[in-house]
Amino acid sequence: MSSNHSGKDATCCAVSDSSLLASLKRGFLSDPLRQVIVSPEGGMSYATGYKLACALAVCLESEYGIKPGATVALSCGNVPYAPIVMAAVEACGARLAFLPDALNQNDISHCVGLVHPSLFIVNKTDYFHMVHSVAPNAKVLSVGVQGGNCLSVEGLASRRLSLGGAPNPSDRSSAAEYVVFSSGSTGFPKAILNKSSSFLFTGKAIRDALGIVSNDVVFVPVPIAHVFGIVSLYACLGACATMAIMGKYLPDVACSFIETVGATVHMGVPTMYVRELRMNQDGEWNLASLRCGLVAGAGCPRKVFSEFQNRYGCRLILSYGMSETASALTIADLSWSAEMRATSDGGPLCGVEIMLDDASGEILCRTPAMMEGIILQDGSFDSGVDESGWLHTGDVGSIDECGRLSIVGRIKDIVIRGGVNIFPAEVERIYYDNSAISECCLCGYADAELGERTALAVIMRKGFERVSAYELRAYAKGRIEKGKIPDIVLKMDDFPRLTSGKIDKKKLKVRVNGILQRIGALSSIPERSGNA
């Protein structure tokens, strides 16, 4: 193993915020009328948010038995009330399991079998039916739903407040846990268990790196049910700032919303920044209120960093992490040059250790925010770490002389073409420097001669639609090894997306293979390019 790199000693990382409820209370006491949440549907002040969270926590404990050892399942998207539910469940010291929005009944049955919730809080009609089917004895509340026959958390909290007096819940947040579901090797979501204190830790690190203060408006278009959304909430509320959220992500709605609310900080995955630049190419929206942003979840084109800074004065930085580490392991520095910020995922957070495997270059890590484990079907846990406490991330990286990490790619994404290992990210980086390309994604496909070949799917920038696929393939010559030049280039209007906004690579690969089958390229030695 190579020598490990670590941030400052963990003793320097004391987290003053004890819980989401404590942050809401500080915001209420310091500036009660400040908005804690804004969305296209409306907003909520710190005063209202704190009172509702207290009332809901009291009701959940007294009427639904939500306390340490209990599990609440939440599926509600980015509705304004979601942070209130999170704060209330955390205050009860219970376990909150985030059910992703796009689950079918088999997936829900699998997830419920892992976490065994006694209470579901949902906001979709089809989820009501599926929940009653897989857990007929569980109690169900709605959130963010107009009308309906199900009791709502909004109604529950409002009813408690109408009784008078100030609800004073017991804050058992130190016992609280979160379960986030991530894609698993079996095809079913895997349940990753984290302590809520882990998100306090990573949220503070992100807040400090971005310099978030109370008068900031933090735009969070990523799903709150994902680790990026959870840690963004902790980063924002820890500063008593305003969190600007939206439901389904659409780049035009995002640009308009940023301008309307005067967002100052942007949280997002790379495709969101790419799509916003593409959507606002003609300057229809003024996004100059943005001063900085965090990019996480995947590699990001270098030109995105320079364009956001040149167009809007917004400095972006990268962070690297995963669900198993409560989001962040490393984070870059706003003071770095645009080139450095675009190419380095930064140094480890204080208390975090990073090391590379000598043979494979795989990134190994140890962190104070390490998951409790992956919940297995029999109720036991897979810690996910080796005998020395190192988590093997499945990512390959490099570390410079200053201890800054750069991601090379995912081991499982490697395409082996005629014995040459190709990380899709290294090819995509070359093409992202091409001014004609807005987005791209490299996929491998089976080939009888070489084992695998590569197809580059691209979305063109406005005004460059006439650039041919043949010209795009030729662009890589001299910029990358010959064996890594894409065998075929496919122009597309858009890519399939995950709920997080990232490219759905599995669905894209199916689409690419369908196109290649249709044009007869799967069994040939391609010296051709096509349009899709």
Helix (H, G, I), strand (E, B) or coil at 285: coil
Q: Percentages helix, strand, coil for the chain, rounded to the nearest 5?
A: 35, 25, 40
pLDDT value at residue 370:
96
Type of residue numbered 51: K
End-to-end CA distance of the chain: 45
Task: Look at residues 394, 444, 442, 457 and name the one whose alpha carbon lies nearest to residue 417.
Answer: 444
pLDDT value at residue 95:
97
Type of residue numbered 263: A
Query: Cα separation of 330 and 510, whole Å?
Result: 33
Q: How far is CA 75 from CA 37, 145, 249, 382, in A?
A: 18, 12, 17, 25
- Quick count: other Cβ atoms within 10 Å of Cβ 403? 16
Widest CA span of the chain, in angstroms? 76
Ramachandran sector of residue 273 (left: φ over 0; alpha: ψ -120 to 50; beta: rest): alpha
Is the separation of the CB atoms in 360 and 181 below 8 Å? no
pLDDT value at residue 14:
43
Domain ranges of the chain: 5-11+20-405, 414-531
Block means of pLDDT (10 residues each) for the chain, 532 residues, are 63 59 96 96 94 96 95 93 96 94 81 93 84 86 79 92 83 93 70 96 97 98 93 97 94 97 97 93 96 91 93 97 96 94 95 94 96 93 93 94 90 89 91 92 90 94 92 93 94 89 90 90 51 48
- Quick count: other Cβ atoms within 10 Å of Cβ 93? 23
- The single-letter DSSP state of residue 288 is T
Domains 5-11+20-405 and 414-531 share a fold: no
Q: Is the dihedral of CA 65, 66, 71, 75 positive or negative?
A: positive
Is the separation of the CB atoms in 39 and 78 below 8 Å? yes
pLDDT value at residue 523:
57
> Which phi and psi angles does 320 have, rounded to 5°?
-125, 135
Q: What is the pTM of this model?
A: 0.86
With a CB cutoff of 8 Å and minimum separation 6, the contacts of 121 are 72, 73, 74, 75, 76, 85, 140, 141, 142, 143, 153
pLDDT value at residue 122:
92
Query: Cα separation of 473 and 518, whole Å?
Result: 20
Type of residue numbered 29: L
Residue 362's DSSP bridge partners are: 396
Superfamily of domain 5-11+20-405: ANL, N-terminal domain (3.40.50.12780)
Task: Look at residues 180, 156, 191, 181 and name the one whose alpha carbon lies nearest to residue 66.
Answer: 156
- The single-letter DSSP state of residue 435 is T
Type of residue numbered 527: E
Query: Cα separation of 66 and 108, whole Å?
Result: 21
Is the separation of the CB atoms in 8 and 357 below 8 Å? no
- The single-letter DSSP state of residue 349 is P
Quickly name the fold that domain 414-531 has.
GMP Synthetase; Chain A, domain 3 (3.30.300)
Structure tokens at 235: 């980063």
pLDDT value at residue 208:
97
CA triple 11-13-17, angle to 5 deg: 125
